[in-house]
Chains A and B, each alone.
Chain A
Amino acid sequence: MVENNRWGNFFAHVILILGVAIVVFPVYVAIIASTHPPGTFVRGVMPLWPGTNAWENYTTAITEGRSRAGTPPIGGMMWNSFIMAMAITIGKLSISIISAFAIVYFRFPGRIFFFWIIFLTLMLPVEVRIVPTFQVVADFGMLNSFAGLSIPLIASATATFLFRQFFMTVPEELMEAARVDGAGPMKFFKDILLPLSITNIAALFVIMFIYGWNQYLWPLLITTDPDYYTIVMGIQRMVTGGDSEPLWHLVMATVVLAALPPVLVILFMQRLFVKGLTETEK
């Protein structure tokens, strides 16, 4: 820095520590609430120090859920979320890497046309065409299935673009060398391009996993069978199911469990996450 301002730095630390405290606060409250017995939430203000009921709350949430209100156990919902997130992630990555390969490494009639078809998906998020998309999925008989949960979401213009950008920076000589050595396109793809793309794939994996895990509207529409509920949408059933106040201790245990996998992914793969985030959006 230009000048060394001791008070300025102190002030900045104060602001940041307060800021971090405010950012962390909602999750802190959730963790605290999930350790209290149900009676705590009947009256008074919510607690700010841990209670003693953590083990019981979490085992109830994971194995029983709130069966009377039609919410299945959290364990099953987390598994569903995991399958859905993985299917979306792997699906998106594989179809977009091969289409980017086709667009960059081949010249064929209709190339620009296909590029624009893929590009259009950017402009049409699920939210703006809910009813007709639902009808299409219903016509295919994909309601209440993992195929229905994941396939409509795996087309991705952003991933295709990112791979295209990356392939454009791969030196021409690599392909020429591969051709001189008699390698066909698929061999070149598998043995040269794929290993080179591994960091990009990993960075996108982190972003896509979070995207897939956090899906809300889509599972809400196409699952009516509790066996296919995902955890993020299941929380809404826990909050509104039944006429009384929500069972806060169970809701908050569920919130913590639902947030845990993506948060862990970000914390452990922060570098890849930042790379994925800043590169996909540009």
Chain B
Amino acid sequence: MQTKRMTFSRSWLPYALLAPQVIITLIFFIWPSFQALRQSVYRQGDAFGIRPPQFVWFQNFQALFADPLYLNSLKVTAVFAIGTTLLSMSVALLFAVMVNRMIRSRDTYTTFLVWPYAIAPAIAGVLWWFIFNPSIGIMPYMLDMVGYNWNHRRDGNDAMIMVIIASAWRQISYNFLFFLAGLAAIPQSLIEAAAIDGASRMKRFWTIVFPLLSPITFFLLVINIVYAMFDTFGVIHATTEGGPAQATNILVYKVYRDGFVNLNFGSSAAQSVVLMGIVIVLTVIQFRYIERRVNY
């Protein structure tokens, strides 16, 4: 790793400068993660200290992957993450392409489209929960007119659709900004050349613009999956609470429930370890992509 050609030399100063960050990282990041690893291979003792914690190798993990509730949660998380990512990215791309055509109104539209990013996932959840409220919400009212009986309190699919919309909504702003920046960076001469060759608008988009956006699309794909898997706890907790009948019980919500409500620390720790594995894989993918893009 590079530094400056010329550096200051002080024996203790750099350590002192790094100390706050490193100490906080060790205490609140590394140590708890290590604890999670440790707890994941122990069966917890009872509250009275009669039966001490016992080393059980990988039993917690075996139990986890044999548990139909956990397998269900994995499936739910996959559906939720893919749904949220596709919805927010496709809508954002559409908006970005349209705004990119504008000259005078570009900034106005951008301003109107970016601010939902400021709204916390939990609040976004509550907002859509209100709109979809089966007794007074406007969406069930409108759906009723076309003959659909919406009830996310009983129907798992309805609940899933609601949390996907709520989670994707605020992420549209984020994706929009990145797509817009990406579109602005595409050389106009390429598009003009294709137009002279007689390519239609649609053809130009799919054969030139979209492939040139692929690095950004891929980057956003990873970021959005990470968002949907880890940052949407608030959406679930403030609205459906994993229900009805486990239909929206995503992994991060399950870790929380099993750890803090059901007090099953062994299983919760094993779930934490699985989640850490997922984050590490996603982060590595993201960094490999960044390296590749730098080499362009």
The residues of A with any CB-CB pair to B shorter than 8 Å are 1-3, 5, 8-9, 12-13, 15-16, 19-20, 23-27, 29-30, 33, 41, 43-46, 48, 95-96, 98-99, 101-108, 111-112, 114-115, 117-118, 120-125, 127-137, 151-152, 154-155, 160, 168, 172, 175-176, 179, 184-186, 188, 210, 213-214, 216-217, 220-221, 232-233, 235-236, 239-240, 245, 248, 251-252, 255, 258-259, 262-263, 265-267, 270, 273-274, 277-278, 281-282
In the complex, whether B295 has a CB less than 8 A from a CB of chain A is no
In the complex, whether B63 has a CB less than 8 A from a CB of chain A is no
Q: Which of A27, A95, A112, A122 contacts B127 (CB 8 A)?
A: A27
B155 CB, nearest partner CB in chain A, Å: 19
In the complex, whether B51 has a CB less than 8 A from a CB of chain A is no
Contact B17 A43 (CB under 8 A): no
Contacts of B152-195 to chain A: CB distance below 8 A: 169, 172, 174, 177-178, 181, 191-192, 195
B residues in contact with A108, CB < 8 Å: 11, 14-15
A9 to B105, CA, bound (A): 11
- Knowing A95-B20, A124-B279 are in contact, say whether A259-B123 is a contact too (CB < 8 A): yes
User: Which residue of B is nearest A133, CB measured?
Assistant: B32
In the complex, whether B3 has a CB less than 8 A from a CB of chain A is yes
- Knowing A8-B201, A16-B98, A179-B6 are in contact, say whether A132-B20 is a contact too (CB < 8 A): no
The residues of B with any CB-CB pair to A shorter than 8 Å are 1-11, 13-15, 17-18, 20-22, 24-33, 35-36, 39, 91, 94-95, 98-99, 101-102, 105, 109-124, 126-131, 133, 135-138, 141, 169, 172, 174, 177-178, 181, 191-192, 195, 201, 219, 223, 230-231, 233-234, 237-239, 241, 252, 255-256, 259-260, 265, 268-269, 272, 275-276, 279-280, 283, 290
- Knowing A136-B32, A155-B24 are in contact, say whether A3-B195 is a contact too (CB < 8 A): yes
B residues in contact with A221, CB < 8 Å: 260
A residues in contact with B280, CB < 8 Å: 123
Contact A127 B101 (CB under 8 A): no
A104 to B255, CA, bound (A): 38
Contact B233 A216 (CB under 8 A): yes
A23 to B91, CA, bound (A): 11
User: Which residue of A is nearest B293, CB measured?
Assistant: A282
Interface-central residue, A105, A154, A240, by most chain B CB under 10 Å: A105
B residues in contact with A99, CB < 8 Å: 17-18, 20-22
User: Which residue of B is nearest A178, CB measured?
Assistant: B8
Contact B21 A96 (CB under 8 A): yes
- Knowing A131-B272, A154-B24, A258-B123 are in contact, say whether A26-B112 is a contact too (CB < 8 A): no
A residues in contact with B21, CB < 8 Å: 95-96, 98-99, 118, 155, 160
Contact B123 A235 (CB under 8 A): yes
Contact B123 A106 (CB under 8 A): no
A236 to B256, CA, bound (A): 16
Contact B279 A105 (CB under 8 A): no
Contact B259 A112 (CB under 8 A): no
